[in-house]
Amino acid sequence: MTHRDPVLMGPGPCNPYPEVMEAYARPVLGHLDPDFIALMDEVGDRLRQVFQTTNQLTFAVSGTGSAGMEAAFVNFVGPGDTVVVGVNGVFGGRMCDVAARCGAEVVRVDAPWGAPIDPNDLIDAHPSPKMIAVVHAETSTGVRNDLATLGAKKGDALLLADCVTSLGGIDLRIDEWGVDIAYSGTQKCLGVPPGLAPLTVSDRALTHLRETPQSWYLDLNMIAKYVTGGDGARAYHHTAPISSLYGIHAGLGALLDEGLEASFARHQAVGDALQAGLVDRGFELFAAEGNRLPQLTSVWVPEDRLPDGATEADVRRSLLLDYGVEIGGGLGDLAGKGWRIGLMGHTARMRNVQLLLASLDDILV
Ligand code: PLP
């Protein structure tokens, strides 16, 4: 089997920072080795900086972003609880599914795909929900949803935010905005391979922690004793994915060395350049102006620019195999008609924007 090295400009994973892959190659330590515990503590400190929070329970869940989603629901909601969920794309829909499997009563608030959710629609959906859940950056559409207004108006509800595609790429202020529970994924704007789900939980949310959540593996009562030490020594719960934690430690280091603001500015600059370049070439942007993500661009593909007899999927295949550039297909209305192009983490570079646009100039008619 040959091993290729494409530029990953799909909706995730992105190309990891070089220092992340170097970290993966380091010798494996035991999960209770003092040096590993120190590294895990540093991961928590670094995540607190990136999430802009002082939440003590801030760590990387073993598993991809969806494990973070499961952990965020299963530990806080169960039968009899009402959960209001905003849906303007695939991942809001997934949240409804996960919440329903916890036995919660789900009040689903839909907005058109491509448009943001009006926070007041979520606030007005139920007088006293246990939780309000929303996706900050919808990877299926390229739309940013407002968290700050929800945080200000949430009342007694817990505010849960999916920050899989936003963390590290756009402004996200957990404490200032009043977000109680947030999870992310490593493979997007953190520039790390998939495998971990950063999670942060406010002290207020911890007072609602279920005593015996239905999931053993994701039980925060038990995991907290390992990741934070709690009152005593670290207690084994499950074997930490050691090398993945080396990777996120290095990725967060790269991000903090660059600076959060600088990273946001870099993502914005490349996103703007890509979106302008695509519009110049006859593409139409899908996400509503004002709520467009720079790190995920969704576009309608102009049919009259496809080579004779070719589909948009043929063009994506040629980009990947002939030019070494991966981009994503559309979802929902965009399926078969549009693309999703990511500029996340280490991939968010002007050289990659230019590579993609030049490759398209070669392929399109
Ligand atoms: N939420 C959002 C917004 C995502 O973009 C994704 C993945 O693309 C997920 C959740 C699920 O994460 P994963 O595929 O890492 O399990």
Residues 33 and 104 grouped into a single domain: yes
Quick one: which atom of ligand 1 is closest to the CA of 137? 3
pLDDT digits (tens, 9 = 90+) for 42-53: 999 999 999 999
Nearest alpha-carbon partner for 224 in 61, 14, 20, 17: 61
Q: Is residue 281 annotated as involved in ligand binding?
A: no
Residues 224 and 294 grouped into a single domain: no
CA of 302 to the centre of ligand 1 (A): 28
Quick one: pLDDT at residue 2?
83
pLDDT digits (tens, 9 = 90+) for 73-112: 999 999 999 999 999 999 999 999 999 999 999 999 999 9
Contact 168/294 with Cβ under 8 angstroms? no
CA of 111 to the centre of ligand 1 (A): 19
Q: Does residue 165 belong to any structural domain of this protein? A: yes
Q: In the predicted model, is pLDDT for residue 229 greater than 90?
A: no
Q: Does residue 253 belong to any structural domain of this protein? A: yes
Measured distance CA(279)–CA(285) in Å, rounded? 7
Measured distance CA(265)–CA(240) in Å, rounded? 34
What is this structure's pTM? Answer: 0.98
Q: What's the rounded mean pLDDT across residues 151-172?
A: 98
Q: Does residue 263 belong to any structural domain of this protein? A: yes
Pocket mutation for ligand 1, best pick of 134, 139, 184, 190 (most atoms within 8 Å of C-beta): 139
Which CATH number is 305's domain given? 3.90.1150.10
pLDDT digits (tens, 9 = 90+) for 239-276: 999 999 999 999 999 999 999 999 999 999 999 999 99
Q: In the predicted model, is pLDDT for residue 228 greater than 90?
A: no
Average pLDDT value over all residues in the chain: 97
Residue 318 domain boundaries = 7-14+259-363
pLDDT digits (tens, 9 = 90+) for 294-313: 999 999 999 999 999 999 99
3-state DSSP of 119-181: HHHHHHCCCCCCEEEEECEECCCCEECCCHHHHHHCCCCEEEEECCCCCCCCCCCHHHHCCCE
Which two three-digit tokens encode residue 4? 């290729």
- Give residue ranges with CB within 6 A of ligand 1: 11-12, 64-66, 69, 91, 135, 139, 162, 164-165, 185, 194
Q: Does residue 297 belong to any structural domain of this protein? A: yes
Residues 81 and 227 grouped into a single domain: yes
Residues 186 and 201 grouped into a single domain: yes
E-assigned strand segments in the chain:
7-9, 57-62, 82-87, 105-110, 131-135, 137-138, 143-144, 158-162, 181-183, 196-201, 284-285, 296-300, 325-329, 338-342
Residues 151 and 278 grouped into a single domain: no
Residues 188 and 41 grouped into a single domain: yes
Residue type (1 letter), 119? P
Residues 239 and 301 grouped into a single domain: no
Question: 363 in helix, strand or coil?
Answer: helix
Residues 292 and 249 grouped into a single domain: no
Residues 269 and 293 grouped into a single domain: yes
Which CATH number is 111's domain given? 3.40.640.10
Q: Does residue 158 belong to any structural domain of this protein? A: yes
